């Protein structure tokens, strides 16, 4: 359990972003704390990735106000102890081996059976699922208060999905985590909050039934 001294809070307020042909986000507000696992749902193009990148600081917003533990953070990504971000695309150099990547990030295998099997394997020789699992592992194991995961279940085998769910739940003991993925069932398996991007806005929903009412699932 988290104690009061271990609780960290992030607030993203009045987030607005327009592209040349479309307004994507308009006055979006999000508050999350360590221990939260927020499912972030929405149709393609509704702004899920845009919102995460703005919070992380790697994408310029038309307007934003980001606070972490009451401190304004313009570019949170410059402080890796605060926040980490898993992009939807691969980000590890294919020429490296797993052990080299782990050493670079300062992260041990921690007895993870999948990581141990990949330990001496070169990234370029991995399947898409193996590579994705390694990326998810790196982001979740980084010593940061918050983790933003964009499509963490993409390419994963059923076993890898199961272990990723367990990893998310374990790391949420010390982190606040956003999970955006179209595999909604797997996301709901781990989430304790449900968020939906729709019509440029972010809604917090009570349960899966509200996702149906909003037309996200049938």
For residue 30, the surrounding DSSP H or E stretch is strand 22-33
- Residue 11 pLDDT class (50, 70, 90 cuts): very high
Helix, coil or strand: residue 101: helix
Is position 215 within any domain? Answer: no
Q: Is the pLDDT of residue 5 over 60?
A: no
Q: Report pLDDT for 6.
A: 83
Give how far Cα 56 sits from Cα of 81, 110, 130, 176, 195, Å.
12, 27, 25, 13, 18
Global pTM value: 0.95
Q: What angle do helix axes 128-141 and 98-105 make, rounded to 10 degrees?
A: 20
Range of the domain at 124: 9-207
Is position 218 within any domain? Answer: no
202 bridge partner residues: 197
Q: What is the CATH number of the domain that holds 130?
A: 3.40.50.300
Chain segment 38-59, per-residue pLDDT in tens? 999 999 999 999 999 999 999 9
**What is the rounded CA–CA span in Å between residue 90 and residue 122?**
14
Chain segment 186-211, per-residue pLDDT in tens? 999 999 999 999 999 999 999 999 99
Is position 3 within any domain? Answer: no
User: What is the DSSP code string of 120-177?
Assistant: T-BGGGS-HHHHHHHHHHHHHHSS-SEEEEESTTTT--HHHHHHHHHHHHHHTTT-EE
Better pLDDT: 21 or 120:
120
Q: How do 146-150 and 176-180 pair as beta strands? A: parallel
Is position 117 within any domain? Answer: yes
Is position 41 within any domain? Answer: yes
- Residue 218 pLDDT class (50, 70, 90 cuts): low
Is position 46 within any domain? Answer: yes
Q: Is the pLDDT of residue 112 over 90?
A: yes
Is position 1 within any domain? Answer: no
Is position 123 within any domain? Answer: yes
Instruction: Name the domain count of the chain.
Output: 1
**What is the rounded CA–CA span in Å between residue 55 and residue 66?**
7
- The CA-based angle 32-22-75, given to 5 degrees, is 40
């Amino acid at each position: 359990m988290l104690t009061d001294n271990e609780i960290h809070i992030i607030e993203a307020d009045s987030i607005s972003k327009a592209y040349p042909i479309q307004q994507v986000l308009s006055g979006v507000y999000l508050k999350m704390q360590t221990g939260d696992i927020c499912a972030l749902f929405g149709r393609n193009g509704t702004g899920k990735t845009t919102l995460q990148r703005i919070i992380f600081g790697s994408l310029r917003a038309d307007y934003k106000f980001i606070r972490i533990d009451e401190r304004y953070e313009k570019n949170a990504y410059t402080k890796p102890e605060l926040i980490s971000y898993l992009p939807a695309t691969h980000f590890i150099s294919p020429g490296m081996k797993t052990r080299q990547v782990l050493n670079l990030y300062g992260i041990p295998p921690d007895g993870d059976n999948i990581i141990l099997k990949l330990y001496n394997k070169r990234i370029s020789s991995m399947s898409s699922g193996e590579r994705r699992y390694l990326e998810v592992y790196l982001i979740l194991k980084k010593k940061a208060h918050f983790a933003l995961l964009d499509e963490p279940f993409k390419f994963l085998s059923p076993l890898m999905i199961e272990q990723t769910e367990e990893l998310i739940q374990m790391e949420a003991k010390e982190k606040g985590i956003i999970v955006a993925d179209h595999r909604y069932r797997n996301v709901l398996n781990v989430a304790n909050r449900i968020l939906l991007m729709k019509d440029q806005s972010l809604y917090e929903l009570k349960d899966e039934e509200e996702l149906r009412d909003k037309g996200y699932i049938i």
